[in-house]
Amino acid sequence: NAGVTQTPKFRVLKTGQSMTLLCAQDMNHEYMYWYRQDPGMGLRLIHYSVGEGTTAKGEVPDGYNVSRLKKQNFLLGLESAAPSQTSVYFCAGGQGGEQFFGPGTRLTVL
């Protein structure tokens, strides 16, 4: 039982490049979330999903897209990376209450 996993763990991009972050969960969570964590700002919600095939915008959605084609996977895409998107990204799964987080992806955009 791996819980919530994220790939990759680290990534360096150049401005304008694209990439996809993958989140996978084996806990049968209906809800899944993508957050970014920046120093002094706390975790901020980017997008979330309340079930397979559904997505919705969170607090800071600009520059990101998501998809949830399968219940166990939640993908976060950056179409054209910007230095402001340098951050640590966390995926979480939950059932409407407490959330269970993955180990994070550290992304640097040069």
Partner 1 sequence: EDQVTQSPEALRLQEGESSSLNCSYTVSGLRGLFWYRQDPGKGPEFLFTLYSAGEEKEKERLKATLTKKESFLHITAPKPEDSATYLCAVHRGGTYKYIFGTGTRLKVLA
Using CB under 8 A, list all residues that contact partner 1.
Answer: 4, 31, 33, 40-45, 48, 50, 56, 58-59, 90, 92, 97-104
For the record, the structure tokens of 88 come out as 């640590």
In the complex with partner 1, which residue's Cβ is closer, 69 or 96? 96
In the complex with partner 1, which residue's Cβ is closer, 14 or 40? 40
In whole angstroms, the minimum distance from the beta carbon of 3 to partner 1 comes to 10
Reported in sequence order, the residue ranges of the chain that DSSP labels E, i.e. its strands, are 4-7, 10-13, 19-25, 31-38, 42-49, 56-57, 64-67, 73-78, 87-94, 99-101, 105-109
In whole angstroms, the minimum distance from the beta carbon of 13 to partner 1 comes to 20
In whole angstroms, the minimum distance from the beta carbon of 103 to partner 1 comes to 5
In the complex with partner 1, which residue's Cβ is closer, 16 or 51? 51
Are the C-beta atoms of 26 and 2 separated by less than 8 Å? yes
In the complex with partner 1, which residue's Cβ is closer, 17 or 65? 65
The candidate with the shortest Cα–Cα distance to 72, out of 102, 106, 43, 104, is: 102
Number of other CB atoms surrounding residue 43 within 10 Å? 16
